[in-house]
Structure 1
């Protein structure tokens, strides 16, 4: 979805307005010089913009866990799955949800049902992201003035809230409204039909998470899929501006300036370069850079740069590619992801549908990245990819989804559901010994929460699984 650059000027004003609305759970002090109220339009602008940044923030936080990225330094905690402090991510998620609470109150009071519906969809999304990372989290007591130490709600019950919010959002988006969303919406510029498709796509995403639970229904997933995205043109995304770079572009630019980040894991390189799978994937040069020698060489997670310490001896994110150009979009949800969800849900009951969706998911991602037709057709007809409906496996679906969702945080949910069983996926060097040889399953609660709400923070380890990861 193209975003007109004329709305750039709205960002700074909206951030100031919206910051004043985050005065419930997260605020301790009140600045009397700040505005005390924010209009729905201003809230919508900041919410859609910051939601995309939350996708980047979460994607950055888990990129080493799923071995998209690797630290150039040996024994880095992000590689070795040590307990890390994600206070900033926690605050950013709750800041957006606090704004969303304010938006939905205002929209409901004024009968602005389209704002209300979009707000409920984004509340479901930000809440779902938070639960997927931390498990039990505060929600029911988080957006009022009765306590600064809110109770933690059960993660399974919160998932019920996610689905309820999505259903409410759909109903309100389909209703008459007193105010229409427009350029204040950085995702769809007020296109209600696309908001509805986005809501159903999110339903399919969160339903597929529950596959290992008693509440899972493949038929319900496929019903949601049928009402979700039908092309790349409907992808939920936020594009960036001339003065405000895509955050992954900033990582690439910083790395080029020797502020090291965005080094590519050996696991990801070998999944595409013909090492782990027979077919060489034409998306590799469109996603990551080469070494100074023109080769694709990854970094081993946990081991660092090893015997090649100089800059340019390992592949990194580089500026100018689809995900790393200065005005590139941050992808929130995509058509290709939805096709892989469909493939997984149909697998075993409707093999033809599963296989068609699997192939369409690959093609949609390649089209999004502008893979040339010859390279695309060669890959799609390679016998190791075009295996036929009877031979399609969950391993192939997860492998192709892993590539298509490069840098997206949804991959960590997939990795946990798949028990990290990607082909040739190996544990990082110098891995956190407290994990006992197991992969990390959740985030530790942030230090900020331990200090301000410690009496309510559940006692968990990094191996304790959230409710759907059993």
Structure 2
């Protein structure tokens, strides 16, 4: 794992701007001394802001996606109401008013300076952002975007056209980063190692080809993409608490004097607990040892507490199967069900919180005590964006889709090995961690071989279920890959249902943000969230995906 790099005072201020100002930079506040405007800009300042906005964009989109697929907890019973147009304003602004506008202003400066590597990085980040926008919104502005004089109301280009443009942009970016030019003053991701930027670009191509089912092109770039964890594409947070708060946002939310500010996904915690997943103590820290309606680690019943957990005294919903996660998870894993929209009870000091991976919190060594500000790694975690384990999961899916089951099993083994090793490396962030509770190498090997053996012995349905479930777990910290997988395949089918039996159509694409749809005469708002993106050729909703 990379050490936290020393950064300039200017960048330090930018971090505060990017992560503490209502989820998006306020680019219209022209008097802000940290805002990048044309009259005071220089190329490296633009690149600083672009990189920071990219991290914010990917985190916010990833959190939305993770909620949909049960990697994170989702509040609210209906998908349409949970993700109404105003919810997506910040993400859209980060892309269009933030990154893309800054790139348009920075490009002539880079051309004049012969700063090819700056241009190349911008093109790779823009291509990645465009593909992510299409994956989440469908048709989006591209050809007419960031040209307000000529196109004040840019049209939404077909998703397939945007994909084609983004793929061409990745090729251009790879040529540019291999050309003569100065290094970036601050490369927050790869410290000016442009061979790693090249691997990232090929990894983005992989996900685009996998989404569109172009497995021949996928295989042609797979060997040139991210393979080793040393090439992981991630954003590093700091541990500064205020002025600005540079900590991982999940840490800032959970490690407070009043207790946790969020809930974790019951489905994810129970799935990991039941399979004895070695990553569970790194992902989650338990503040309390007994969840109402469940049993503690010794098998003792915890009893009912309808004040702190209303559902502990309520019957299982009729549409839930007997084996489906409901309300309470054993051994103190205190979270919430998918779509639970109950009020907030006095449980902040009992909820399970984000652990040492990836949020930089505490490693769980059975302390069962409320967390406080500064605990664990102090929030100096990461935002995982494109990891070596992610590309291995993609390779496993591509192999399985091609009926290459041995290749799929090998890639699955590799993905699990890398995911667990990376997760375990984060224990060093927590100086108070009791390493005697860390899984042994034998336990890790046993877990991986158990998953792979089950994969090999299962039928086709079992294989898809196992692969998808493991990718969901491995995507903790971001849900983008899991959300795409779910729409591509419909797996896993055994995830927890929405607590409401009639939650409405699953989000096949998000509404256009209100700030765009309400002012852009060339953007027509979608009638619902069941509009499919161009590569989603599965049956229409309702009915797909089945675990709605």
1:320-331 correspondence runs (5 A): 320-325=356-361, 326-331=379-384
1:7 corresponds to which residue? 7
CA distance in 2, matches of 1:307, 1:14: 33
**Residues of 2 paired with 1:58 and 1:307: CA distance?**
25
Aligned to 1:264: 264
Greater Cα radius of gyration, structure 1 or 2? 2
Q: Deviations over 1:348-383 (max 9, x none)?
A: 34333222111000000000011641321120122x
Aligned to 1:363: 417
Q: CA deviation at 1:187?
A: 0.6
1:23-69 deviation digits (Å, cap 9, x = unpaired): xxx97786698652422211222222221121211122233211122
Query: 1:467: Cα distance to partner?
Result: 0.5
The secondary structure found in structure 1 opposite 2:519 is helix
Structure-2 residue corresponding to 1:225: 222
- Give structure 1 stretches of 5+ with no counterpart: 19-25
- The alpha-carbon deviation at position 441 of structure 1 amounts to 1.0
> Is the contact between residue 117 and residue 183 of structure 2 (CA under 8 Å) also seen in structure 1?
yes
Matched, 1:424 2:494: yes
Instruction: Give me the whole-angstrom Cα distance separating, in 2, the residues matched to 1:63 and 1:79.
Output: 16
User: Is residue 456 of structure 1 aligned with residue 523 of structure 2?
Assistant: yes
Q: Is the CA contact 1:194–1:234 (under 8 Å) kept in the aligned structure 2?
A: yes
| TM-score, normalised via structure 2 length | 0.74
Judged with a 3 Å threshold, the aligned counterparts in structure 2 of structure 1 residues 251 and 79 are, in CA distance, closer, same or farther, namely farther
The 8 Å contact of residues 63 and 409 in structure 1, kept in 2 or not, is answered as yes
Is 1:56–2:62 an aligned residue pair?
no
2:389 and 2:415 in contact (8 A); partners too: yes
| SS of equivalent to 1:51 | helix
The residue that corresponds to 1:22 in the other structure is none
Inter-CA distance 314–14: structure 2 relative to 1 (3 Å threshold): closer
The match for 1:108 among 91, 111, 116 is 111
Q: CA contact under 8 A between 1:232 and 1:335: conserved in structure 2?
A: yes
After superposition, where does 1:115-194 map in structure 2 within 5 Å?
A: 115-144=118-147, 145-174=149-178, 176-181=179-184, 183-194=185-196
Partners in 2 of 1:386 and 1:108 — Cα distance? 54
Aligned to 1:353: 407
Q: Who is 1:21 aligned against? A: none
**Change in CA separation of 1:96 and 1:16 when aligned onto 2, cut-off 3 Å:** farther
- Check 1:369–1:190 CA distance in 2 against 1; reply closer, same or farther (3 A cut): same
C-alpha displacement at 1:298, in angstroms?
3.4
**1:343 and 2:339 equivalent?**
no
Aligned length in residues: 442
Which of 256, 277, 281 aligns to 2:277? It is 281
What secondary structure, in the 3-state scheme, does the structure 2 residue paired with 1:408 have?
coil
Report deviation, 1:119: 1.1
The alpha-carbon distance between structure 1 residues 234 and 457, as it changes in their structure 2 partners (threshold 3 A), is same
The CA distance in 1 between the partners of 2:410 and 2:70, in whole Å, is: 28
CA distance in 2, matches of 1:444, 1:252: 29
Distance 1:16 1:315 in 2: 27
2:442 corresponding residue in structure 1: 374
Check conservation: 2:266, 2:337, Cα contact below 8 A.
yes
Q: CA deviation at 1:305?
A: 6.1
| Counterpart for residue 23 of structure 1 | none
In the TM superposition, what is the alpha-carbon distance from 1:308 to its structure 2 partner? 7.9
Pair 1:399 & 2:465 matched? no
Taking the aligned partners of 1:82 and 1:388, their CA distance within structure 2 comes to: 35
Q: Which sits farther off after the overlay, 441-450 or 320-329? A: 320-329
1:248-280 C-alpha deviation (Å, 9 max, x unpaired): 2222225x634632x112211222121xxxx32
Indicate conservation of the 8 Å contact 2:248/2:382, yes or no. Answer: yes
Distance 2:471 2:357 in 1: 19
CA deviation after TM superposition for structure 1 residue 82, in Å: 5.0
User: Which stretch shows the higher mean deviation, 193-202 or 458-467?
Assistant: 458-467
State the shift of 1:321 in Å.
3.9
CA distance 1:42–1:2, shift in 2 (3 Å): farther
C-alpha displacement of 1:304:
4.7
Find 2:452's aligned residue among 364, 385, 389. 385
Contact map agreement 2:209 2:218 (CA 8 A) in 1: yes
- The correspondence of residues 201-220 of structure 1 with structure 2, limited to 5 A, is 201-211=203-213, 216=214, 218-220=215-217
Question: CA 1:327–1:186 in 2, change beyond 3 Å: closer, same or farther?
Answer: same
Q: Quote how far apart the aligned CAs of 1:195 are.
A: 0.6
Give structure 2 stretches of 5+ with no counterpart.
19-25, 241-245, 290-330, 362-378, 425-438, 538-548
User: In structure 2, do the counterparts of structure 1 residues 14 and 304 end up closer, same or farther at CA, with 3 Å as the change threshold?
Assistant: closer
Q: Quick check: 1:3–1:189 contact (8 Å CA) kept in 2?
A: no
